[in-house]
């Protein structure tokens, strides 16, 4: 039986020991407060690498570990973080090499594989939902907007930066691009747009009839519908999963209504949408499972 460790780095670091695609013991997280979404921003590259190592050391068992999978937001190629708008201090860093050096100094010699965090969630959904023989696509809704795909295929897959509006005023995406999905749906973008309201306050006010908030909630869902429709038109129909801390805001019926308006070719209409409540365990399992596969380019 393979023993692996999965780590997901997003607004927090979450790590777990995995055997046979199942969590052994409990997850270890930093910071412990789940509402502290900006704790990692203050840590430079080297400090963040050491924090990741600390979480691995906290759960590392006696005996051999077959692999360690580390999932990170952004474009990850060959162990190098080519870009990561939501953790900008990682850009350009060879995180696989840095982590390997720290792990080896602590007596851990397991091979390391790095990947995009949304791809780890897709892999976790595939192995926990019995869909490893089918295409799995997932949108992760949180500080950033991730698009994950299983099985891995060559490509950038930065779906959160998909252009969903031509409005030149839509400049809220953390990468600086205009019209991006993340510039509508991401936590940072929502805070910049409203300034005086947190995301949960925006959606609560919309339910009470606030016109500005109601318009935004419709835009939020139309943007996600447009991104999903684009994926259908490029990759075909199938099942799409939606998860992450902000999936609590998702009105699936409204999303389906917008998607029905956008996808009209009959061969493409056999899609299915499924909400998965936020569950850190899924991404950790996916990171661990991906670490056992052949290395991604």
The pair of structure tokens assigned to 130 is 């019995």
- In the prediction, which pLDDT does 34 show? 73
- In the prediction, which pLDDT does 35 show? 73
- In the prediction, which pLDDT does 153 show? 85
Mean pLDDT to the nearest integer, 124-137: 94
Mean pLDDT to the nearest integer, 48-68: 92
- In the prediction, which pLDDT does 1 show? 67
Query: pLDDT tens for residues 197-223?
Result: 999 999 999 999 999 999 999 999 999
Q: Locate CATH 3.30.420.40 in the chain.
A: 3-116+280-291, 122-275
Q: How confident is the model at residue 63 (pLDDT cuts 50, 70, 90)?
A: confident
For the chain, give the mean pLDDT.
Answer: 94
- In the prediction, which pLDDT does 187 show? 93
In the predicted model, is pLDDT for residue 297 greater than 70? no
Query: pLDDT tens for residues 282-294?
Result: 999 999 999 988 5
Query: pLDDT tens for residues 242-280?
Result: 999 999 999 999 999 999 999 999 999 999 999 999 999
Mean pLDDT to the nearest integer, 153-165: 93
Q: How confident is the model at residue 296 (pLDDT cuts 50, 70, 90)?
A: very low
Between 53-62, 160-169, 250-259, the lowest mean confidence (pLDDT) is in 53-62
If DSSP states are collapsed to H, E and C, what string results for the chain? CCEEEEEEECCCEEEEEEECCEEEEEEEEECCCCCCCCHHHHCCHHHHHHHHHHHHHHHCCCCCCCEEEEEECCEEECCEEEECHHHHHHCCCEHHHHHHHHHHHCCCCCCEEEEEHHHHHHHHHHHHCCCCCCCEEEEEECCCEEEEEECCCCCCCCHHHCECCCCCCCCCCCCCCCCECHHHHCHHHHHHHHCCCCHHHHHHHHHCCCHHHHHHHHHHHHHHHHHHHHHHHHHCCCEEEEECHHHHHCCHHHHHHHHHHHCCCHHHCCCEEEECCCCHHHHHHHHHHHHCCCCCC
- In the prediction, which pLDDT does 294 show? 55
In the predicted model, is pLDDT for residue 154 greater than 90? no
What is the topology classification, in CATH, of domain 122-275?
Nucleotidyltransferase; domain 5 (3.30.420)
Second CATH level (architecture) for the domain 3-116+280-291: 2-Layer Sandwich (3.30)
């Amino acid at each position: 039986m393979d023993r692996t460790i999965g780590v997901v780095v997003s607004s927090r670091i979450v790590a777990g020991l995995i055997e046979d695609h199942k969590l052994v013991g409990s997850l270890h997280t930093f910071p412990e407060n789940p509402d502290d979404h900006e704790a990692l921003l203050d840590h430079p590259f080297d400090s963040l690498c050491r924090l990741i190592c600390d979480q691995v050391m906290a759960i590392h068992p006696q005996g051999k570990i077959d692999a360690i999978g580390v999932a990170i937001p952004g474009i990850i190629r060959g162990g190098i973080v080519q870009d990561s708008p939501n953790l900008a201090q990682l850009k350009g860093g060879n995180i696989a090499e840095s982590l390997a050096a720290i792990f080896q100094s602590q007596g851990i010699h397991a091979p390391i594989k790095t990947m995009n965090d949304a791809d780890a969630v897709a892999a976790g959904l595939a192995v926990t939902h019995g869909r490893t023989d089918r295409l799995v696509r997932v949108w992760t809704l949180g500080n950033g907007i991730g698009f994950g795909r299983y099985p891995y295929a060559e490509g950038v897959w930065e779906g959160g930066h998909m252009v969903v509006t031509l409005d030149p005023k839509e400049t809220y995406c953390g990468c600086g691009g205009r019209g991006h999905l993340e510039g509508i749906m991401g936590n940072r973008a929502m805070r910049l747009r409203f300034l005086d309201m947190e995301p949960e306050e925006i959606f609560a006010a919309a339910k009470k009839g606030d016109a500005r908030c109601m318009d935004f909630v419709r835009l939020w869902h139309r943007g996600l519908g447009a991104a999903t429709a684009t994926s259908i038109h490029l990759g075909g129909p199938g099942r799409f999963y939606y998860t992450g801390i902000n999936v609590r805001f998702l009105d699936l019926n409204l999303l389906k209504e917008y998607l029905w308006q956008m996808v009209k070719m009959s061969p493409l209409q056999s899609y299915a949408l499924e909400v998965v409540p936020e569950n850190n365990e899924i991404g950790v399992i996916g990171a661990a499972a991906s670490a056992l596969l052949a290395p991604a380019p």
